[in-house]
Structure 1
Amino acid sequence: MVDISEEEFEAYVDAAIASVPEALLDLVENCILVIEDDPPADMPSLLGLYQGVPLDRRGHYYSGVLPDRILIFRRPLVRMCATVEELQEQVRITVVHEIAHFFGIDDARLHELGYA
């Protein structure tokens, strides 16, 4: 387990977002990223979660909806990592994984790409 402040964790998430190519980030719209301490009680080991309508499923009817959400769960990530470097890498993988879900990429493909 790595002992870091909430501010340091947030900086790791910011760095992970900055690692995503700008051309892709420019396509992310109506989506917010939120850091929460813990995942839902029925999924205690969950590291991140995408909630919304993936970009590839949005049609002409998609308007006037609340923003999609990407949730990053701090405590499970901190618990699973032994070093700061490991945590930074796992945060990056988790953030990219959830952004990929925004684009409609499923877990099977993410596993093939090394993001699962």
Structure 2
Amino acid sequence: MPVDMDRERFEELVGEALDEVPVELLSLMNNVVFLVEDTPADGSDDLLGLYEGTALTDRGWDYAGTLPDRITIYRLPTLRTCESEADVIDEVAITVVHEIAHHFGIDDQRLHELGWA
């Protein structure tokens, strides 16, 4: 059974997950925003997070002046995959780390090898 959680509480959990990321790592992030949305625009129900932008490893001299990269965490798909608030806390933390890794140029295959897929 999906977890029932309002958007405000879910956003708190995303903030708490970000608070757990080492400051040294966060300080290396550049031109990126974190967002919470209820569902992906494409309507998929199994996408928990999405990184949209240009990974730090792919940025060149022509990157200046671009809009911020976006890391979006999706509330409803996450709640559907979890059975308790503790599960949501864990899943949000994993998803936040997973999407941050994409910002640093780490692809899904490598994340899977590392146990973060």
Identify whether the pair has TM-score above 0.5, normalized to the shorter chain. Answer: yes
Query: Any idea what the Cα deviations from partners look like across 1:2-57, whole Å, max 9, x if unmatched?
Result: 11221110111011111111101001111001100001335331110000000001
Alignment map for 1:1-116 (pairs within 5 Å): 1-41=2-42, 43-116=44-117
AA aligned opposite 2:52: Q
Distance 1:113 1:20 in 2: 17
Distance 1:39 1:113 in 2: 25
Q: What is the CA distance between 1:95 and its match in structure 2?
A: 0.6
* Preserved contact between residue 39 and residue 45 of structure 1 (Cα < 8 Å): no
* TM-score normalised to structure 1 length: 0.96
Where does structure 1 differ by over 4 angstroms across 4 or more consecutive aligned residues?
none
Kindly tell me the number of residue pairs found equivalent between the two proteins: 116
Distance 2:24 2:75 in 1: 27
Secondary structure at 1:65 match in 2 = coil
Instruction: Give % identity.
Output: 51
Secondary structure at 1:32 match in 2 = strand
Question: What is the CA RMSD across the aligned residues, in angstroms?
Answer: 1.0
* Preserved contact between residue 30 and residue 68 of structure 1 (Cα < 8 Å): yes
Distance 2:104 2:74 in 1: 20
Query: Any idea what the Cα deviations from partners look like across 1:38-96, whole Å, max 9, x if unmatched?
Result: 01335331110000000001111110100000011100001110011011000000011
Distance 1:67 1:11 in 2: 22
